[in-house]
Amino acid sequence: MSSWAERVHRRAADLGNVVTSCGHPATAPAYPYRLEKVKFGVPLEEVCKHNNIPGPLLVLILKLNKESPNRRDVFRAPGHQGSMKKLIHFLQAGRLVNVDNYSVFTIASVLKKFLRKIPNGIFGRSGEMELFAINDLQNEAEQTDRLHRLFGSLPKYTQHLLVLLFGTFRVIASNAAHASTGMTSEALGVSVAPSFFQSCVSDGKTARMEDVLKFKVSTKIMQNIIDKFATHDIFGRDNYEYYARVTGRILKVQDEWICSFQYPPPPRGKLAQQKYALQHSLEAEKTWLQCQCERWGLRP
């Protein structure tokens, strides 16, 4: 197991322990031997106990956030079936996982399967219906406001999981043209919509026309959320700060820069914020795990 992966897994029982293990090893709890289990096919509240995303699930998302922006067809190309079964078994059994042994394609496929198996979907049935209703609105300001209210009404662990996922999608999409990955926000929407919207997946073996139409709308909704992730305040400042703190990325939401806990708060004023962002532009391209590896003299 590589150095950074070993350090993350060592105390990855939950999100708090993940942060502790990489940032403050002297105060971390003892090695737990077994990690918190990541159960498939159960309500999200049973997976995210104590209002935290399980450490192993968080590590998978962070690996995608770190490596997938420069990889072609992530979330579209399927993962290795044998590796997927092995990884899912390790996650459900609460066993240590060496993420370096799994490609980003396998991890993305496992993550999509995890989301697809959440009963009633990550948004819930009522949340999905609300998203379809929001999509029909013509006023963009009203769309943004209702998206903000919908996400804010979800449990905190769901908000955290969503902001990490859509933040990762946003990084992949924003890098698509430069790295020629093909994973634009539209391509991502098509690839991940069935994992987020259970109402657009037919219960039978043959898709109905109604399901096809819902799928087209759901892909548009996903693309819209990805595109608006940092241009509109749809997740709320607390969630954006959570995303920056966990991933180590700097992002600009509307006219305000949001950074990780490693930096002092961004200054007020547009010119001062531009100077601040330029000063930390190099760090903005690094993930939280990379920065911690450099801090402790480890090889990422």
pLDDT band at 22 (very low <50, low <70, confident <90, very high): very low
Give the DSSP H/E element, type plus range, for residue 1: none
Would you state the torsion angle of the CA atoms of residues 171, 176, 177, 178, taken in this order, to the nearest 10 degrees?
70
Which residues share a beta bridge with 256?
A: 253
The predicted pLDDT at position 239 comes to: 95
Q: Give the separation between CA 188 and CA 173, rounded to whole angstroms.
A: 8
Complete DSSP assignment for 149-188: HHHHHS-HHHHHHHHHHHHHHHHHHHTHHHHT----HHHH
More confident residue, 173 or 277: 173
Span 215-251, pLDDT tens digits: 999 999 999 999 999 889 999 999 999 999 899 888 8
Complete DSSP assignment for 178-240: HHT----HHHHHHHHHHHH-GGGS-SSSS--HHHHHHHHHHHHHHHHHHHHTTTS-SS-HHHH
Q: Locate 125 and state its tokens.
A: 């049935």
Q: Both ends of the chain: CA-CA distance in Å?
A: 12
Q: Give the separation between CA 157 and CA 127, rounded to whole angstroms.
A: 15
Span 161-188, pLDDT tens digits: 999 999 999 999 999 999 999 999 999 9
DSSP classification of residue 36: P
Q: Rounded mean pLDDT of 107-125?
A: 96
